[in-house]
């Protein structure tokens, strides 16, 4: 089913997977240092229903793109890198949007835990259903990307509502398991003070939020948009300057103990 030009989220998992032991993957980074604690193997899955105007990897959007990899192949790669993980590192599944392949990723995380390998999920919070909850329950750390606090601005940025993102956060809080919030700061789009305070007010009493990361907007993915024949609509938007970043960090520090600019 197509709604607003996007596949209905609950139906994507069947479309997006091969066998029950295969994950549709875009790429793998062997020694990631910005996708969770420690040194990590980062699996970027294929497929995303968000249409973020600033997406640095628009080639991950197509739910039929990428290639399939067996769960055991991914586990084998992780085991080989295990000496580099040490105490804090492990495997992060990012995207694309991992929740579109939630059942398969749960199997992957179960196998990684059998090998005593830490797991991180980097998600937009696209949906929350029982398979998504089952995945979150075996996820050591959730990094939740909140694109905007205000729903109308969120739709302008991504073409979809932020309702499910906040429901994912609410569920994660109910489990008592750790979570990081990530916020892409786009001048003129996601830097409005009232909405930054609104996000802080919304999450200030959450006990599971260990860290808030501010991700400065950049244009490093523009060439990918052009290669795909897609219009990049933020060409006239410059990255945030130091003043904007410091102001945003100061606002968030009214509500959170650990705020970092990446």
Neighbours of 10 (CB within 10 A): 13
| Residue 17: predicted pLDDT | 54
pLDDT digits (tens, 9 = 90+) for 116-137: 999 999 999 999 999 999 999 9
Domains annotated on the chain, with CATH: 2-261 (3.20.20.70)
Weakest mean pLDDT among 193-197, 216-220, 244-248: 216-220
pLDDT digits (tens, 9 = 90+) for 85-106: 988 999 999 999 999 999 999 9
Per-residue pLDDT at 220: 87
Whether 218 shows a pLDDT value over 90: the answer reads yes
Residues 6+ apart with CB under 8 A from 159: 4, 5, 6, 50, 51
Please give the pLDDT value at position 7.
55
The 10s digit of each residue's pLDDT in 37-90 is: 999 999 999 999 999 999 999 999 999 999 999 999 999 999 999 999 988 999
How high is the pLDDT of residue 40? 97
Q: What is the Cα–Cα distance from 132 to 101, expressed in whole angstroms?
A: 9
Q: What's the whole-model pTM score?
A: 0.93
- pLDDT, residue 16, reads 56
How confident is the model over 140-164, as pLDDT tens digits? 999 999 999 999 999 999 999 999 9
């Amino acid at each position: 089913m197509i709604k607003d030009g996007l596949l209905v989220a609950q139906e994507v998992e069947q479309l997006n997977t091969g066998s029950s032991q295969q994950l549709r993957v875009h790429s793998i980074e062997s020694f990631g240092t910005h996708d969770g604690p420690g040194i990590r193997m980062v699996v970027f899955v294929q497929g995303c229903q968000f249409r973020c105007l600033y997406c640095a990897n628009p080639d991950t959007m197509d739910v039929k793109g990428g290639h399939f990899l067996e769960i055991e192949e991914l586990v084998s790669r992780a085991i080989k890198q295990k000496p580099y993980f040490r105490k804090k590192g492990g495997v992060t599944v990012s995207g694309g949007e991992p929740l579109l392949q939630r059942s398969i990723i749960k199997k992957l995380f179960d196998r990684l835990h059998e090998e005593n390998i830490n797991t991180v999920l980097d998600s937009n919070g696209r949906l929350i259903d029982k398979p998504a909850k089952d995945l979150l329950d075996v996820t050591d750390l959730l990094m939740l990307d909140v694109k905007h606090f205000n729903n109308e601005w969120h739709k302008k940025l991504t073409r979809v509502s932020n309702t499910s993102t906040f429901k994912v956060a609410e569920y994660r809080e109910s489990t008592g398991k750790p979570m990081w919030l990530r916020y892409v700061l786009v001048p003129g789009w996601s830097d409005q003070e009232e909405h930054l305070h609104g996000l802080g007010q919304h999450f200030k009493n959450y006990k599971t939020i260990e860290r808030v990361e501010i991700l400065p907007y950049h244009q490093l993915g523009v060439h990918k948009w052009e290669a795909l024949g897609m219009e990049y609509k933020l060409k006239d938007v410059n990255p945030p300057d130091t003043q904007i970043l410091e102001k945003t960090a100061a606002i968030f520090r009214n509500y959170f103990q650990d705020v970092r600019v990446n």
